Structure 1
C-alpha cells in the first residue's frame, strides 16, 4: 500500500512546522510533567536540565558520536556497539530516557563514554543539546523516531542511522496516514539497519533510502550476570519449595501475579513466588499490595530474608535479574499482561529458563512469535491461564527442561546480528564525515 498522496510536501512542511511550534510552546508544561515524574520516582531531579538540552558535563575533544537507547534493554544491547565506536576513535555521548537505564549505564566503566538523559523533542531543547555536543554521527536504537531530532540532525548534515530498527504494523499504518510528513522524517535518515526483512520493507515504504536486515542485536547480548554465592544462599533458604519468578512486572500486573499465586497454592501449598518489578522504587507500594492479599512478603531492598512462612519474595533491587533467572527454572516475563508490549525474553533464555509471557508482546513481536511457534515459550493471557502454565511446568520437570533447552537453542541460532550491524556502520565509523572535512577546509 503506497503512502497517501493527500499529504503534499507543502502540507508535510506545515505539519512539521506546527509540531515544532507546539513543542516550543509546551516547554513550560514539560517542566510540570518532569516535576510529576520526579515525585513518582521516574526522574533524577539533580539532572533535570539535561531533559531540556543543557549538558551537565563538558564536551570532550575530538570526534564524538551520539548514541541513543531508550531503556535498559536497548542500552544493554547497544553496549558492544558503543565499545566498537570508541575503539574507532570516537567519544560517545549515550542518552537514555529512563532512570533505571541511566543507573545501568552509570555502572559501566568505559573510557570515552558519557551519559546524559535524552532531551525532550522540542526545537529549543534539541538545539541546545546539538550546539553543545556537536556530534559527527548519530545512532538511535529500535523505534525511537523523534521528528525534531531527525530533521535538525539533517539540517546540520549529521548522518543519523537507526540500528536494530523495528517498525510494527500499527506504527507503519499510523505513519502512512501522514504520508508527506513521513517522507520528510524518514527521508532524513541516512540508513536503517533493521531487525527483519518486514521491518526493513516498512521503513523503505515510509521514505528511507537505505534499509537492510541484520537481525536483532539483542540475540548477541551477554547473559545477565549473577553472584553464585547469592544464588547458593537463596537456594538454601528456599530448600525444596516449588518456586517461580515474575520478572519486570508493572502496575496492575503484580495484582494478576498475586491472583496466580493464590490459584497455585491449591496444588502447591508451600509455593514461593518471586516478584522482580521493572521499577524497584515501586517496592513499598507492591509490598503493601501483597500484604493486602493476606500474604507474607519479604522485601529484598530491606534485607528481609526468606523464611518458611514467606509467600512472596519481593526482589525490589536494581541489576539482579540474572540472580533470579539463575535461581528459578520457571520465569514469567512481565510487561505482557498489561499494555506495555512485553520485555526481553532472551535474557532468561540465556540462563536456561522455561519462559511464559502474557499476550501483549508487541515490543518483541517477531521474537515471541518465533519462540511460541518453535516451542521456546508458553503464552498465558490471564491469571487462570498463567496458573495453569506454571502448574503444568512445576508438575513436569521434563517439559520445563525441554522448554529451557529450546529457548537457549533459539538464542544461539539468532546470534550474529551485531557483526552484521557493525559491517553496515563501518563506512560511517571509519571515514571522516563531510562536516569534519568542511571543518578542515576552513
Structure 2
C-alpha cells in the first residue's frame, strides 16, 4: 500500500466509521481503502464508493454522514488541528463520543438510536452558515425516466388536453367498441333437404336488422337476434332442373344495427329427377289388332318422355319380334305393334282367348357428350281372338309406382 500524506500525524484523530467501501484519494489520483476507526489527517480527501456510507465524528461531538459517491476535504476544523476559538463556540470533548461509537459498532447497534442527537454546528445552522470544512462533491447522478432541463431564456414545453364544453360544462365523447359479427353457412338439396337454419352473433351490443331476401333457388329470413332460416323453392323449375352433378351457391348480405355487414352463404345441391313417361297431352299407350283384318293389323301410339332436370330425355329406339308379331319404337316415343297373321301361334288362338304381350322399353337422358343413362318402361299389347275368330292386341303402357321409371342398365 502506498504511503499516505500525513502532514500532522501527531494530531491525527480517529474520526471515521465506514459501511461499505470508502477511500482516501492520493495526490496522484489513486485510491486507498480505509476502515472503521482509521485516523484522518488534514489535507486528505475522503471518497465513498457507490455502495459506501461514512459517518464522521466532528471535534464538537457532531456526527456527519456521507452517502455513496461523495468526497470530503479534511480541513482544519474537521481534523481538530485548527479548532474554532472558544469565544465563538464551545467544543465538546470528543474522546468519550469516539469510544461510544466504536463500542456501539462492535455490538452491532444502530448509531442513530444509541447516541444523543448532534448539534447543528457552530452557528446552529443559520442561513448561509455551517461547517465550511466539509466539501461534498456529486460525482454523477442520472434521473430516469424523468429528466429536467433548465436554461436561461428557454421555453418550457407543455402538453395540453383539449376539453370542450358549453356554458362551462365539460362534455365527454364516448367511443363505441368496434362491432364484429360471425358469418353463417348452410346447405340444402332438391327433394331431400329443403331448408336450413343457423345463428349469427355480434359483439359490442349490436343487433341484427330483421329482413327477408329472395334468391334464385330459395329465400332467407333473419331476426334481430341473428337467427336465420333458408327455405328452398323446391317446386320451382329452376330447382327441379338441377341434377346430381349441380352445385349452386347463394350468398345473402345481412346488416347490423351499427351499419356493419356480414353474410350467410347457402350451398344448393341438385338431384336427378325421374322422367315422366306417357303423361303428355295426346300420348297413347294402347291399341287393337285383329287377326286377318287388314285395317287392324297394326296398332300404334306415342309415349312422350318429360325430364324436369334437362328436358332432353328420349326413348331408346328398339324393335322386338315374337310369335305374335313385331313391336317397335323410335327415339321420339312413336311405337307400333304389327300382328303376324301367318304365325301358327296366332292362328292357334281359340275364340275369346286373350293374350298379353309385354315389351321392355328404355329411355335415356342426353348428356353433352352424347352418352345417355338408360331407364326402363314396359309396353303390354294384349292379343285376343274375337267372336269371329279374329285376334286383337290391346297395347297399353304400364310403369311401376304410378308410371315413375326405375333405373336399369340399358
Q: Same fold (TM over 0.5)?
A: no
Higher relative contact order (CA 8 A, sep 6+): 1
Pair member with larger Rg: 2
**Interval containing the TM-score (normalised by the shorter chain):** under 0.3
Between Structure 1 and Structure 2, the one with more strand by share is 2
Give me the TM-score of the superposition, normalised by structure 1: 0.15
Give me the TM-score of the superposition, normalised by structure 2: 0.16
